[in-house]
Amino acid sequence: MPVERGSGRIEKGPDPAQKIEGDTKMRFLLYTVDGDASAPPSPQMIDEVGKFTEETRRAGILLATGGLAPASTRVRSSKGTVAVTDGPFTETKELTGGFALIEVKSKDEAIEWAKRFRKIVGDGESVIQEVFGG
Compute the distance between CA of residue 77 and CA of residue 82 in angstroms, rounded to an integer.
4
Contact indicator for 32, 98 with CB cutoff of 8 Å: yes
Q: Does the predicted TM-score (pTM) go above 0.85?
A: no
Binned at pLDDT 50, 70 and 90, residue 22 comes out as: low
Per-residue pLDDT at 86: 85
Task: Give whichever of 6-20, 38-52, 104-118 has the largest mean pLDDT.
Answer: 104-118
Q: CB under 8 Å to 5, separation ≥6 — which residues? A: 11
Per-residue pLDDT at 91: 60
| Amino acid letter for position 18 | Q
| Amino acid letter for position 21 | E
Per-residue pLDDT at 68: 78
Tens of pLDDT, residues 53-85: 999 999 999 999 988 777 778 899 999 999 999
Contact indicator for 114, 30 with CB cutoff of 8 Å: yes
DSSP letter string, 25-54: -EEEEEEE--SS--SPPPHHHHHHHHHHHH
42 pLDDT more than 80: yes
Number of C-beta neighbours around residue 26 at 10 A: 20
Per-residue pLDDT at 17: 43
93 pLDDT more than 90: no
